[in-house]
A and B are shown apart, each in its own frame.
Chain A
Amino acid sequence: MWPLAALIIGLSILPFFARAYVVEVAMLFFIYIILAQSYRLTVTAHDWQLYHVVLYGVGAYTSGLLGKHFGIPMWVTIPIGGVMASLIGVGITLPLLRTRGWGFYIATFALAELVRNTWIRFHNPFGGPRGIIGIPYGAVLGGIDFGERIPYYFFTMGVMLACLYALYRIDRSRIGDAFKAIDIDPLLAESIGIRVPRYRLLAAAIGGFFAGIAGGVLVHRLSQVDPKLFAITAMLYLLIWVVVGGYRTFWGPILGVCVVQAIFELSRPLLEIRPMLFGIAVIVVLVLYPGGVERAVMQAMGWLRARRKALAKTE
């Protein structure tokens, strides 16, 4: 508990000392953490889908359009974006419920592109390939202007902590256990009375909701949105976070975002060949060291513990 509290306090002090650029990057980190963590939820139910980034886009478009055309403040539009993303997630999963494994992954990719192409195809209201600009920045509440950098930083951080808490509780609940049972053995899960299709839909709905929230939080900072942001490349990065970080424990995807994005930021001089490095990284992790950073951390902790025990014995 203490390291966590120290981390939160550290993050609360950060924006008052760090450069503006660092604060903006930190906000992106928070948003990516919500995204990666909500993706892990559907992954625990064995549904590695390729539509997650598009649901993030659904949240961004919904929240952005409502804010721009109707002037609704973001406190209302972001949850609506989440609900919308949740509905689209269910809509994509529903016709594919009878497929599993590789075929399911591919089919989700195609239906996600169907959704994304509607944004490109229909200039009104989605703005076509160029997207939408002039989306209002954060709203004012209680005399604090959330359009400013530091208040929005705290807003993003608060949303992230709330989402993480909710996802953690779901992960530890009976629902989370049912997801894991489906992942390990769907036939066995079905035979002990878990309704597999219903739980897969539930995973899509919950994961989609939080992805939509992440999109809404993003759009009111960027103030613009375009379909390219949610293309397959973004989805590949999401996969890389979750695979490199590991998805067996709750903390894996968070570690993945931090490690991968930190390398991403530091490797700006290698801009051109950067995607290749990540491609190689994901293959190396999968082939040579499945489990990724999460496994390395666990091994290091186990080693330290054994060492401490050995020391205690000798004394």
Chain B
Amino acid sequence: MDLQTAIQTAASAGAASTMLMLIAVGLTLAFGVMQMANLAHGHVFMAGAYTVFVLYALGGVPYWAAVAAAVGVCAGIGLAIERGIFRQVRGDVVAGFIATAGLIFIFEVFMGWRWGWGLMKIIPKPYMIPFNIMGASIDFARIQLIPFAVVAIGGLIFFMRRFKLGRALRAVAQDPEAASLQGISINKITALAMGIAGALAGLAGGLMSTIYAVTPYLGHAVILPALVTVVVGGLGSVEGTIIAAVILGFTQTFVTTLTDGVTALMVLYAVMGIVLAIRPQGLMGRVIA
């Protein structure tokens, strides 16, 4: 691998890591307060990409406004899933797990039925800023996610440490019963967690929509690496998930460049198996999954 390829791969690895991070942090947040998370979270990401496609590519809305709308739409989807499914089956992990698996079908069929199954949707790039670093040219659209993710996740961590509501979120994750005795509404906190999770996935989906092939099956490609990231990082641990996203994002991208995509996924899953065999709670988790 020459220097030029290495730099280009590193840039895409950074983008892949931040994307994994945005999706997986939402999952781990939801897991922390509910002991389960949305299996169709990759499809929320896809809904973000479709929002940008509909508003920007079809509707002519400015790109950044469309991305903002994607964040809002996906936060709304997150809230709806919390109200419609998770609140109804609270405490029953199996029911939450399978019901959100059923959501996968609903999302896929709705997108395909409304906007077509076949060809991918081409979303024109809103701008072209080619970068040149040591002879390697990198398109800015590919890595625009990185600054946004740093701000969003940095903000989330700040919120969870410094704000009363954020601390309530962590309190519920630590001990729901004690937290509710302190007057924290569990319903409000799970809704908050699912709203944040949806917004992060929507941000990732909106910003990556120009890079990815937007099809009804986009969610499939995204969800499993994100779930693996959550399990490796430690269920419920935001910091662990960030570390795992960087490790797995770089591993996946570099193995893909060196060999092929299928092998990279296999390496990813094998890494997860090894980590769980040694540390069943993941890198930084407290609960044994």
Contact = CB atoms under 8 A, between A and B. Distances in A.
Given A102-B37, A110-B272, A275 B109 contact: yes
Q: What size tier do the contact residues of chain B reach?
A: 35 or more
A283 B268 CA distance: 31
B109 A276 contact: yes
Interface in B252-289: 260, 262-263, 265-266, 268-270, 272-274, 276-277, 280, 282, 288-289
B50 interface: no
A283 B97 contact: no
Interface stretch (A58-66, A79-87, A113-121, A151-159): A113-121
Main secondary structure of the interface of A (DSSP, over half): helix
Contacts of A239: 98, 101
Interface in B98-117: 98-99, 101-106, 108-110, 112-113, 117
Contacts of A102: 31, 35-37, 93, 97, 235, 289
Nearest to A240: B102
B35 A243 contact: no
B228 to A, nearest CB: 5
B224 A286 contact: no
A95 B98 contact: no
A290 interface: yes
Contacts, number: 141
Nearest to B272: A110
A278 B112 CA distance: 16
A279 B289 contact: no
Nearest to A237: B105
A114 B289 CA distance: 20
B280 A99 contact: yes
Contacts of B99: 282-283, 286-287
Contact of B289 (A107, A111, A280, A283): A107
Given A101-B289, A107-B231, A282 B266 contact: no
A287 B97 contact: no
B220 interface: yes
Contact of B105 (A96, A98, A278): A278
Interface string A208-240: 000000000000000000000000100010011
Interface of B: 31, 35-37, 84-85, 88-89, 93-95, 97-99, 101-106, 108-110, 112-113, 117, 220, 224, 227-228, 230-231, 235, 260, 262-263, 265-266, 268-270, 272-274, 276-277, 280, 282, 288-289
20 contacts: A99-B231, A103-B235, A103-B282, A103-B289, A104-B289, A106-B230, A110-B231, A110-B273, A111-B269, A113-B269, A117-B262, A117-B265, A118-B266, A120-B262, A272-B109, A272-B112, A276-B105, A281-B102, A283-B103, A287-B84
Interface of A: 48, 94-96, 98-107, 109-111, 113-114, 117-118, 120-121, 232, 236, 239-240, 243, 272-276, 278-283, 286-287, 290
